[in-house]
Structure 1
Amino acid sequence: MTTDFDNKDDYLVRRAWELLDPLRDIEVPPMTVTAAELRRRAEQRHHGPRVWWLWHQRALMTRRRMMTLATAGVALAVAIGAVVFTVTLAASPAVAAPAPLTMDTSDSPPSARAWLTSTAAALTTLDAGVDRPNTYVHLQRWTIDTTSPALELFASDERLWWRPDLAAVTAHTKLPAQPSGKQAAQWLLGPPNTAATEVVHHPSGSYSLLVDRPAADVATLERQLESQEPASNGPQATLRAVAAFAQFHYLGARQRAAALLALADVEGIRWRGKTTDRAGRPGFAISVDSRPGPGGSVRDVLVYDLSGELLSHEQITLLPPVGFAVPRYTVTAYTLYLECVRTLDFGPATQA
């Protein structure tokens, strides 16, 4: 997926340079004067200054015409680009993006390392709790497909039950569009009655998890996170891998502590202070900024509660890559982790 994204970026950069080429679509006229004629005219410079002056003026006028055409070409390309960009934004669902969460948005917030390590230290003293065999995860997603010219919107309610033998039941429901400019997510109590839910039963051994079980020690967990997204991809890799694990796994207190300590080692991890997620839950925000494409930058935000449980993951476009028609500071995606427990239930019919 990363490769496709990078290839599209390369294509968009090439297209941008082609549109801004001053000589784009301007044909260079063929040479109409022979080398012998040029030599003869040069020799006449000493014997006929007026002939040389006329030839020089003609050449100068030609160059001026070329510069005029080039300037016009650049102006036209910029004007067309501005019109296309404006029309795209006017017709684009990017303007219907939710409002950013209320948190510290300064350019130089403090490091989040102290909060992460202190919260992790408190968690390591807690009991692991009852270990029921099955896992249940309920989340909601909202995203803009920024790789599509139409900037399509997607929203869904997703529930997952899985057993240790890797049998699973998934329930996926497409949600209506979220209100523009609002912070709170809709349909938190469940999809509308008219929405169709696709329920899929996965037989034993067929459901794929990112890892069998996230580790409770930092070193092992970091290796598992590397298998999901290598840290060499950038500072955002560890943060996104932690968020990905939360889509499938219930993390006990010691596993949560290990995840927080893994995040504390990330270069550029920042403390964004208190916030309230889109489900109305109070928490604390941390973030990492990265540069996924030419000229662009993205902020990944994780919101945690006091017990170290992940409440949400958000992505904000700080500066759109070349060719991407989304305004700066647009929330392009969020995931709400609404519930994650160990349970005896297995599927919608058995859910309490």
Structure 2
Amino acid sequence: MTTTGTTTRHRLLWIAGIGMVTAVAVGLLIVVLPHQEPAHAATPAPLPITTAAAGVAPVTLTDLARTALTDTTGSAGTVDHLITERWDVHSAVADGDVTSAMFPSRRELWRASDGRARTIDLLLAPGASTADIHAFVGPDAPTGRSVRNDYAAGTFAVAFAGRPPTDPDELADWLARNSTRDDAVIVGVTDLLLERVLTGRERAAVLTVLDGHTTLTYAGTSTDRAGRPGVAFTAASTASGGQSQYVFLIEAATGRFLASEQISTGGAPALKLTYPAVLSYRTYRQADTVAAIP
């Protein structure tokens, strides 16, 4: 698709109705007048979840927190090393009309304890034109090539500057960042998992907070988009103005996070979605520590 006229680019979480668009991370609100064309986005299928057989006790987040405390895999250094594949809604506003598209991307991140960092980004959109990618994501978006950026200490933008606290009550407040939305802790966790390799103790604290400060409940088992099996936990939310569902997929043997998703389940007529529709997903392909930034 091609846009003309003055274009404003935002990465969207949600279009709650014909009149309002909520932007992720940038904290902006775009007003879409009722006579304008609604946004439209094709979305991937949600992860299929197989419910537990009758009589089989569900895995609990408390169980996984205990497991995480004993997990030391991937702890070989002091530099956090993450590989994440993700899918997000992007929008363009041109001549008062809003259209949206979704492009998958891959980021490899190294983050040292002194604040230095390196990222390698790749936009995984083989079916999209360069013009579309630049219109929706930005003029400097990597199209079919990887882009490396190095950051001096203190120059890499992050949601959380320090290590997560391990006291559950303190951690809950830290993750929510003073927000009173019903999904504040969950959004905080998804942001944290993009930035930090959690130690076993930190992961146990995060799982404990998810158990005590959210409505996440065991939903069954699934396989993530990298083909890895895990146990699924889901929670409903109306924080974005429509109905949505959050999903976390966690490895049973280690308590490690494999994936997370946000799914629209209703109340977003402007997007013309077929429900349920994935608005974003994160596949945590790798999370380990290394000795140095390469």
Shift of 1:93: 4.2
Q: Which amino acid aligns with 2:256?
A: E
Residue aligned with 1:323, SS: helix
SS in 1 for 2:99: coil
Q: Secondary structure at the match of 1:280?
A: coil
Change (3 A) 1:126 1:341: closer
Query: What is the letter of the counterpart of residue 233 of structure 1?
Result: R
CA 1:128 to 1:171, structure 2 compared with 1: closer, same or farther past 3 Å?
closer
The question of 1:305 aligning with 2:251 is answered yes
What's the C-alpha RMSD, in Å, of the aligned pairs? 3.6
Query: 1:197 aligned to 2:209?
Result: no
The aligned residue for residue 217 of structure 1 is 167
Offset from partner CA, 1:281-327 (integer Å, 9 cap, x none): 00011111111344x20111111101111111111110032433222
Higher Cα Rg: structure 1 or 2? Answer: 1
Q: Is the 8 A contact 2:15 2:271 kept in 1?
A: no
* Partner AA of 1:299 in structure 2: Q
Identity in percent: 24
Q: How does 1:102-141 map to 2 (within 5 A)?
A: 102-103=48-49, 115-125=60-70, 130=75, 132-141=77-86
- Taking a change above 3 Å as real, the CA distance of residues 247 and 142 of structure 1, as seen in their structure-2 partners, is same
Q: 1:284 to 1:168 in 2, by over 3 A?
A: same
- Do residues 233 (structure 1) and 178 (structure 2) align? no
Q: CA deviation at 1:165?
A: 1.3
Q: Is the 8 A contact 1:9 1:293 kept in 2?
A: no
CA–CA distance in 1 between the matches of 2:154 and 2:32? 46
Residues 217 and 255, structure 1, Cα contact 8 Å, conserved in 2 = no
- Unaligned runs of 5+ residues in structure 2 are 1-9, 23-28, 129-142
**2:100 aligns to what SS in structure 1?**
coil
Size of the aligned set, in residue pairs, is: 253
Hey, what does 1:8 align to over in structure 2? 20
Q: Is the 8 A contact 1:211 1:224 kept in 2?
A: no
Q: CA offsets per residue over residues 257-284 of structure 1, 9 Å max, x none?
A: 1011100013422211110011000001
Q: SS of 2:292's equivalent?
A: coil
SS at match of 2:215: coil
Indicate if the aligned counterparts of 2:176 and 2:185 stay in contact, CA closer than 8 A: yes
From 279, 282, 285, the counterpart of 2:232: 285
For 1:336 and 1:128, locate their aligned partners in 2 and report how far apart those are by CA, in whole Å.
18
Q: How does 1:263-278 map to 2 (within 5 A)?
A: 263-278=210-225
Larger strand proportion, structure 1 or 2? Answer: 2
Say which SS state the counterpart of residue 271 (structure 2) adopts. coil
Please say if residues 85 and 283 of structure 2, whose CA atoms lie closer than 8 Å, have aligned partners that are also in contact: yes
Q: Which has the higher helix share?
A: 1
Once the two structures are superposed, residues 22-46 of structure 1 have per-residue CA deviations (whole angstroms, 9 ceiling, x without a partner) of xxxxxxxxxxxxxxxxxxxxxxxxx
Give TM-score, length-normalised by structure 2: 0.74
Change (3 A) 1:327 1:116: same
> What SS is found at the alignment partner of 1:245?
helix
* DSSP-derived class of the 1:265 partner: helix
| Aligned residue runs from structure 1 range 26-175, under 5 A | 92-94=40-42, 97-103=43-49, 115-125=60-70, 130=75, 132-145=77-90, 149-175=98-124
